[in-house]
Structure 1
Amino acid sequence: MQPTWLILVSILGFISLFKHSISLLKWVFATFFRAPKNLKKYGSWALITGATDGIGKAFARQLARQGLNLILVSRNSDKLETVSSEIQAEVPNIKINIVAHDFSTDDASKGVELIEEAINEAEVGVLINNVGVTYPRAMFFDEVDEKVWMEIVKVNLEGTTWVTRAVLPGMLRRKRGAIVNIGSGASVVVPSHPLYTIYAATKAYVDQLSRSLYVEYKLCGIDVQCQVPLYVATNLASKVALIEKSSLFVPTPEDYAEAGIRHIGYEARCTPYWSHSVQWCFARLLPDALLDAWRLSIGIRRRN
């Protein structure tokens, strides 16, 4: 007869293996087989911030292809006109409105007024909070100019909060809506992001804001989600990580947005692109001290 302690260890091992197997199956289903939600059921309009480049522009294209009318928000009016024309040529049957607002310098209340005016007659069912900025280069905290870190706070933290606050009343009246806040692996996947401290801190705020709003408004028919990408081949990634092209673990904005669309309306937090999820899984197996040292060494190399 086997000793009791060996039986207990075997049972615990089986339970652990069972839990991990279930988690793996759930991930495979959600990533590759789960049907995306019909986003038009949330409303006929989608609002996207940071809509003229990278992930924001790619989300705008994906939402347009699903038949949603668009409100595009960005600081550059010329780029807004260009992106609007490109999408309109591809999907001529939708309506597109543009709002030019610079979250880093313009008065926040002015931006909210412009957005509220734009959504006044529009049934905004989907919000993609994508606007975000970071340091011009890797820097220690004491080296960051006040203007730079204040701009990061205004855009990443205040901008996301103000826009979310602007669309919520309409969603509450209609009892439906989807809010997607684009976070960052810099604040969730790894325990620290040295030499980009303020950026990571503001993205951690976005993650916590999303989780709390998810709980507050789930019963009201509003699905709030924080999507946590790792590196995507965007201008921001080029600046932060010197990434110039896509690869197996660095998707194009279009590939990321296609995966991101499939997850809207489900989990409170997700990492939509499959290879990002794989990287996150392996990162969680490593000790925090090792990840901290690795991130610091990368930051110092980029600083030099």
Structure 2
Amino acid sequence: MPYLQLFVSQVWSAYRWAATALTTLLVVTYFGPLLYLSWAPRRDLRRRYFADLSAQTSLQARATPAKASNMARNHKALRARKKGAVEESRSAPSIPKSALNEARLERARSATAEPWALVTGASSGIGLAIVREVAQQGINVVLVARDDALLPKALDQLRAEFPERSFRVVATDLSETMPPRDKIDGKSEATPNYLAEIEEATADLFAAGTIRLIFSNAGYLLMSFYWQRSLSEQMRNWECNITAALRLTHFVLGQWAKHQRAALKRDDDRRGSNAAAFGLLAFTSSSSFFLPSPFATLYGAEKAALTSFAQSLAVEVRDLGVDVLVVHPSYTRTNLYANQPKLAILEFLDRFTGASPGYVAASIMRAVGRGLVVRDIGFYSYLTRWVNHVVDIGLLSSLIVLCRHLVPEYRQFRADADASLHSS
């Protein structure tokens, strides 16, 4: 009996030690960074990714008025010689209109040499909030979004809020899969319209090496039983939510590698953990794939694929000086859920835990360039991540299948599916 008591005591002590160690590890490795990032200041994007351009931009800013002033002096000297003047007046000359026009043209040309970012899904929601965050730091932005009523409205707002910033617009549909041509960059491959349009709109920026921030944020939601919608509709959704990000990333890395390859050959010290920060690839994923997501089956699969892609890509591109960040926002009050069935869980999240797009964008800016690859944002993301770690996902999936009839949304979608079958 004493031996049994001793054995139970030892097992209980080992259990308490293991539980304490695991809890401490969870707090330190997961909740610790979350608490830090909740209060951390926004990352200075210009300092991290455009340090080499800042000096050039400052020099150009000083050179432009100097050039105009020199043109004015030459203009006045010419007039003085015509009038037979002996010497040029020492007073500050007035800048003629021709010199001012030349200065404006020089300023327009120099915009290409300024810092630039590209944001997809930039006409509303999280994408528009990211554009505002980036523009506030003095960075110009290329907006990629659908050609609908939201885009010109967003552009007018941005130009009014940031008159000193330059904005380019690529009005295109990222769900379009039809190729317009067969050869891109000398390679024989099919390329969708949207990628060709993005390449054309940013060719000078990539050639100058000044576009270094890419935010792949575009996406939309289809809610129904998977088999209820046509396959072409599902594939368009897949193209926008995952394939477009893969295509854009492949194109961007190819352009960045051209600029970095020569530098890496000259200076091997830039390799590894000390590699200089040259660019950022940020992906907006979702916490929806932490748990099974029926009624949005494809959406959860797309976001799981996007997160896995970003996690692996981060290893491959670090030697190029490229940071990779993938974020998992909780329920956010955006147009993503517009024209979708009103589910009880979504209404609950909207009422109690819904976040604003500005909060999500600010959280992204706090996480950028801090060595993190994955960033969960919001209470629902934290909760589902914890459940995913504690409860076996296979067991949880089986329980959801067994209890499906208890979910009002399942009964609603099932009734809609039966009605569509009878009508057909």
Q: Same fold (TM over 0.5)?
A: yes
Question: Higher helix proportion, which one?
Answer: 2
User: Residue in 1 aligned with 2:410?
Assistant: 300
1:176 to 254, 267, 278: 278
CA distance in 2, matches of 1:233, 1:160: 23
Q: CA deviation at 1:46?
A: 0.9
Note the 1:1-304 alignment, pairs <5 A: 4-23=10-29, 26-40=32-46, 41-43=48-50, 44-76=115-147, 78-105=149-176, 107=179, 108-122=191-205, 123-135=210-222, 137-139=223-225, 141-172=226-257, 173-174=259-260, 176-187=278-289, 189-190=290-291, 192-240=292-340, 242=342, 243=346, 246-265=350-369, 266-273=371-378, 275-284=379-388, 285-286=390-391, 288=393, 289-290=395-396, 293=400, 297=407, 299-301=409-411, 303=413
CA distance in 2, matches of 1:114, 1:160: 15
Unaligned 5+ segments in structure 2 are: 51-114, 180-190, 261-276, 416-424
Aligned partners of 1:52 and 1:83 also within 8 Å: yes
Aligned partners of 2:174 and 2:239 also within 8 Å: yes
Give the aligned residue type for 1:179.
L
Give the aligned residue type for 2:242.
L
Q: CA deviation at 1:152?
A: 1.0
Give the aligned residue type for 1:8.
A
Greater displacement, 253-262 / 242-251: 242-251
**Which protein, 1 or 2, shows the higher relative CO under an 8 Å CA cutoff with sep ≥ 6?**
1
Q: Structure 1 residues 46, 241: closer, same or farther in 2, change over 3 A? A: farther
Q: Percent identity?
A: 22
**Deviations 1:53-89 (Å, cap 9, x if unpaired)?**
2111111111111211000001216533321221111
Aligned-residue CA RMSD in angstroms?
A: 2.7
Q: CA deviation at 1:33?
A: 2.9
CA distance in 2, matches of 1:77, 1:196: 25
Give 1 or 2 for the bigger CA radius of gyration: 2
Greater displacement, 23-32 / 58-67: 23-32
> TM-score when scaled to structure 2?
0.64
CA distance in 1, matches of 2:238, 2:26: 38
> TM-score when scaled to structure 1?
0.86
User: Residue in 1 aligned with 2:421?
Assistant: none
Aligned residues: 299
Q: Structure 1 residues 58, 246: closer, same or farther in 2, change over 3 A? A: farther
Give the aligned residue type for 1:138.
S
CA distance in 2, matches of 1:161, 1:239: 27
Unaligned 5+ segments in structure 1 are: none
CA distance in 2, matches of 1:301, 1:234: 26
